[in-house]
Amino acid sequence: MDTPDAAPLDLIIFGGTGDLAWRKLLPALYMAHLHGSLGERHRIVGLGRHDWSRRQYVEFVDRMSRPVVEPAAMQPLHWQDFLRRLDYVQLDATQPEGFERLKGACQPDGAKVFYLATAPSLFTAITARLHEAGLVDARSRVVLEKPLGHDLASARAINEAVARHFEERQIYRIDHYLGKETVQNLMVLRFGNAIYEPMWRTPYVRSVQITVAETVGVGTRAGFYDGTGAMRDMVQNHLLQLLCIVAMEPPISLDADDVRDEKLKVLRSLRRLGPAQLRHDTVRGQYTAGTVDGQPVPGYQQEDGVPAGSRTETFVALRAHIDNARWAGVPFYLRTGKRMPRRQSEIIVEFTQPPFSIFAGQSGMEQANRLVITLQPEESIRLQMMAKEPGSGMRMRPVFLNLDLQSAFTERRAEAYERLLIDVVRGRLTHFMRRDELEAAWKWADPILQGWAETNDAPKPYPAGSWGPPAASALVARENVLWSEAQ
């Protein structure tokens, strides 16, 4: 599936005038162009409903995407070279005429990558139209943006529709969290260092926390978000994928299917949460008016486009268990929310205390060792250990051993979308979800969503700028655990 740099390739973006395209995809492709990751005959074709010429589309990209690129990377000559790669085709995904125009705009002997940066409701029509127009062949690839469905049944329907025209090896279900440098480094940390493997399990691990916190509200996405909520938007995909990488067994190789086989085993081992467990092990929240970064912000129900009385959750915290020999009895705490105090994504592996401590009664606070893997806003890996304070006596305090990735590697660190787009161009599937992975995640998430719908309880309120409802702290406190910001 790899396309040599010298071979022609068209990267075709459905939704080429949308926010995702000009905010993320096109700047990422420019960075790939700048650093020589795109071949000379690799072109980018934006698709949209606007009756635009190529020149008008180029002007649009120049106006919208240029300010998004890092100032240090904006080199005018390279930017103009990048803009020369662009083409535009007017296309309505529900009408066949545009697909014939698209066919005429493609390089005759080139491979084609179709990036579906559209609503998932259009995936079925787009893939069928591509097939009817003769645009799909053995070298074609299709990239599917999340969310892939709103439950198991709809996810299966999308997968089946796409599979009528593309083989599984041609389908790239993208989750940009899997493109983050530190997430991919976690594989090396776990499986490339012998010191971790013996204790990466029960009884040496006490608990695992995975947090993805956002300071933003729903913004202009209220229409989409109110029908989705935090569970579908973040937990079912981003957080479960992070959990899989933390918890998976060593794959036999880095082959895409070998890695994804092990992730699938984790998803199949997740304990299902029935009605009794939902009240005990899950917390739903919804932000109210408050202050974030020193600025007053409205509550969720005061946001434009949110219906009065909405019960959509903007916060989820839950306790999960993996029923296998490695993780038996170890709780995994997952948490995500909007309008939190700071933007933060991190994984914390907390190890158990020694069975007997000779330091009991000594001054200072003895704390458990913790491996803290920060994904954003800055990527880092730190190991918290206990050390003696200078001076007489044996007073202790926690200190960090810092895996200084910034100093150790002076090379530029590509952003997640750039890395994943190059993986697509080069035919690398390891960091993309396979169909059975996606469906296994929905099998676990569906009963939680159904249980919440049946109880019809309102989400617990929490002020914007806080770490969520008090019930989220109580969820972990029952096992004498604290969320990271309270430690």
Considering the chain, tell me which residue range(s) the CATH 3.40.50.720 domain(s) occupy: 9-145
pLDDT digits (tens, 9 = 90+) for 444-478: 999 999 999 999 899 999 999 999 999 999 999 99
Instruction: Return mean pLDDT, the chain.
Output: 92
Q: What is the pTM of this model?
A: 0.92
- Which pLDDT does position 3 carry in this prediction? 61
pLDDT band at 69 (very low <50, low <70, confident <90, very high): very high
Of 33, 165, 238, 321, the catalytic one is 238
Residues in the chain, overall count: 487
Residue 68 has pLDDT above 60, yes or no: yes
- Clarify whether 238 is annotated catalytic: yes
Which DSSP symbol is given to 324? Answer: S
Q: What is the C-alpha to C-alpha distance for residues 457 and 294, in angstroms, rounded to an integer? A: 31
Cβ atoms of 265 and 248 closer than 8 Å = yes
DSSP state of 272: P
CA distances from 468 to 45, 240, 315, 476, 484 (A): 43, 20, 7, 13, 13
285 DSSP β-pair partners? 315, 460
Q: Note the pLDDT tens digit of each residue in 267-278.
A: 999 999 988 899
> Does residue 325 contact residue 335 with C-beta atoms inside 8 Å?
no
Beta bridge partners of residue 48, listed in sequence order:
90
Residue recorded with tokens 């940009």: 176
Cis peptide leading into residue 203 (ω within 30°): yes
What is the percent of the chain with per-residue pLDDT over 70, rounded to a whole number?
96
- Would you say residue 282 has pLDDT above 90? yes
| Distance of alpha carbon 365 from alpha carbon 368, whole angstroms | 10
At 346 the pLDDT is 95
The CATH superfamily assigned to 9-145 is: NAD(P)-binding Rossmann-like Domain (3.40.50.720)
Burial degree of 309 (CB within 10 A; 0-12, 13-18, 19+): exposed
Predicted local confidence at residue 1, as pLDDT: 54
- Write out pLDDT tens, residues 110-139: 999 999 999 888 999 999 999 999 999 999
Which part of the chain has CATH 3.30.360.10?
178-414+427-486
User: Which CATH class, in words, describes the domain spanning 178-414+427-486?
Assistant: alpha beta
**C-alpha separations of 267 from 18, 209, 245, 262, 440 in Å:** 33, 17, 11, 9, 6
Is residue 433 helix, strand or coil? strand
Q: Cis bond leading into 390, ω under 30°?
A: no
Q: What is the pLDDT of residues 321-333, one digit of tens each?
A: 999 999 999 999 9
Report the greatest alpha carbon distance in the chain. 82
